Amino acid sequence: MNQKEVIRIGIRAVIPTATGSAVFLGNDEKVFVIYMDPLVGNAISLLINGAKSERPLTHDLMGMLLAALGAKVERVIINDLKGATYYGRMIVTVENELQQRKVIELDARPSDCLAMAAQQKAPVYVTRSLWDEVEDMSEILRKMAEHPSGEGEGSKDKE
């Protein structure tokens, strides 16, 4: 197995929970869930639905800063799981009058990676080793879509 092998995934749904947000990630083969702070979950939901907040949120500000510096999020990778904590990497490219082209890899919370990917319309990947480790939640997401509880709306990713 190639340690660097990655699988493209998308944000399938953002569901509010009693303590935060459940973000369902995956593709046609499998879906898994990452739980996160409700504020970041809400920001991701707004971003994937193209909704605008009254004032710029943190991820909007970061996007404007990147654009001003001639940078963009190239891709994000959810790359590890230790205990109940996921880890992510954000790959940023910079092309401006000061530099030819520079690639920067940043350690970041998966929630921030996902928000920035949604804001920048960048692809999301998961490592093969993590993909093989996570539990498939496709059936739960399908059942939730068939029988919405009415306690908040999930958001479908438009890939």
3 state SS of 113:
helix
Residue 75, both tokens: 């891709």
Distance CA 47, CA 36 (A): 16
* 93 vs 144: CA distance, rounded Å: 37
Is the per-residue pLDDT at 152 higher than 70?
no
Categorize the per-residue pLDDT at 3 as very low, low, confident or very high, splitting at 50, 70 and 90: low
* Domains of the chain with CATH codes: 6-146 (3.10.690.10)
> Tens digits of per-residue pLDDT, 11-61?
999 999 999 999 999 999 999 999 999 999 999 999 998 888 888 888 999
Instruction: Give the containing element (helix H, strand E) for 48.
Output: helix 38-48
For the cut 90, the answer to whether the pLDDT of residue 132 exceeds it is yes
Q: How confident is the model at residue 2 (pLDDT cuts 50, 70, 90)?
A: low
Q: Considering only CA atoms, which of 124, 8, 128, 12 is closest in space to residue 73?
A: 124
Cα-flanking dihedrals φ and ψ of residue 124, to 5°?
-115, 135
Mean pLDDT of 142-154: 66
Structure confidence at residue 153 (pLDDT)? 45
